Amino acid sequence: MKIEVCVGSHCTMLGADYIINSIEDLKDTILEEMELPEDFTLNVSMVKCMKHCKKVGNVVPVVVI
């Protein structure tokens, strides 16, 4: 599973760093407590700017799963 979090200036000002921390905590919990296939991976990446806030409007911070 791949999760991308926008860390552009607008998203960062409105809490992207809190979301990243929460996802990292969730990642540890999922991998420790759930019965998942051995090949399951959870990749969290930070993306400079997805430009969703300019296309869609006031939708920040942006997270894509």
Please write the tens of the pLDDT for every residue from 40-65: 888 889 999 888 877 877 788 999 99
Please name the residue that has the structure tokens 């399951």. Answer: 40
Closest CA to 1 of 23, 16, 32, 22: 23
Query: Other C-beta atoms within 10 Å of 55: how many?
Result: 8
Cα 30 to its chain centre, rounded Å, is: 15
3-state secondary structure of 16: helix
The whole-number pLDDT of residue 46 equals 93
Residues 29-42 have pLDDT tens digits of: 877 788 777 788 88
The residue to which tokens 């407590």 are assigned:
33
Q: Which domains does the chain carry?
A: 2-64 (3.40.30.10)
Query: What's this model's pTM, rounded to 2 decimal places?
Result: 0.78
